Amino acid sequence: MNKNLYFCNIKTISMKTKVVLLSIMITLILSSCAIVKPGEVGIKQRLGKLSKRTYNEGTVGFNPFTTRVIKISVRTNNLELSISLPTKEGMSVNSQISILYNLNKDSVRSLITNTGLSYESIISSVFRSASADVCSQFYAKDLHSGKRGEIEKAIRDKMAETLSGNGISIQAVLMKSIQLPQGLASSIEQKLQAEQDLMRMEFILKQAKLEADRKIIEAQGVSDAQKIISEGLTDQIIKIRSIEAFNELSKSPNSKVIITDGKTPFLINN
């Protein structure tokens, strides 16, 4: 009986050991694989040293005891900042900024080596410097007008000069929800209203001038017509027209009383 119990315990222990070993093996296999998602690149770091190869989307195998896989997004990312922008007249304009950027997958190794994984703080610092240099050349009203696109492009170009060498591509800088100082905002609104009133008045004056020109042309036409008629009515033409009128009257069957001085007829109907 004791021998049977001993052999049974050995079998039980060996079975438990197999399960444990199998679990350890599965854990090691799963922990030695990294999945790089679409829009990401991976790079192995073995004992602190980065490999020269970068991996695209898929499964990457590695030794979990000595190596890890660093995964970085190369999609277009949006970094939002709230910042106070200086202007040419010395004012400060609050604005919400969106910076659209992406990382060059061929430069991921040098980016991690030179900048580290906190590259967004680098982008933010470069933007603050570039925006201060650019916005200080423009008036506050320019940030709220058609020059906004020019300012955004100038900031983007200035940032690209600094960041392109680190593998960071700045696609666009977008200035949103610009808040001008209250007094300046009211002045701009009043100016815009005055410009609209001036445009409306110019339109009314232009319409009035066109109407006056039309009446002058119409009056000139009537005057010219009367002048032509008066110049064309000579005594001979009047006599001819009178004779023609008498001839037409003589053909009419209706009875009439004709009073004439021999030059023009006057008709009196019965």
Partners of residue 49 on adjacent β-strands: 46
From 147, 137, 127, select the one nearest 78 (Cα to Cα): 127
- Cα within 13 Å of Cα(240), Cβ side: 5
Q: Is the same domain home to 94 and 61?
A: no
C-alpha torsion angle, residues 177, 182, 188, 192 (rounded to 10): 80
State pTM to two decimals. Answer: 0.55
Q: Is the same domain home to 131 and 45?
A: no
3-state secondary structure of 22: helix
Which residue among 25, 49, 73 closes a domain?
A: 73
Range of the domain at 166: 77-180
What pLDDT is stored for residue 154 in this prediction?
A: 92
What pLDDT is stored for residue 5 in this prediction?
A: 46
What pLDDT is stored for residue 76 in this prediction?
A: 87
Q: Is the same domain home to 34 and 88?
A: no
User: What is the chain's alpha carbon radius of gyration, rounded to the nearest angstrom?
Assistant: 48
Distance CA(40)–CA(268), nearest Å, equals 109
Partners of residue 13 on adjacent β-strands: none
Q: Is the same domain home to 88 and 163?
A: yes
What pLDDT is stored for residue 62 in this prediction?
A: 65
> What tens-digit pLDDT sequence spans the chain (270 residues)?
454 544 445 455 566 676 666 666 555 555 567 777 787 888 888 887 888 887 787 777 667 777 788 788 888 899 998 888 888 877 778 888 899 999 888 888 888 888 878 888 889 999 999 988 898 888 877 877 778 889 899 999 999 988 888 888 999 999 887 776 666 555 655 666 677 778 888 888 888 888 888 888 888 877 777 777 666 666 666 667 777 777 777 777 766 666 666 555 554 444
What pLDDT is stored for residue 7 in this prediction?
A: 43
Q: Is the same domain home to 69 and 147?
A: no
**Token pair listed for 63:** 């030794």
Is residue 86 in some structural domain? yes
Is residue 173 in some structural domain? yes
Provide the residue type at 265 as one letter.
Answer: P
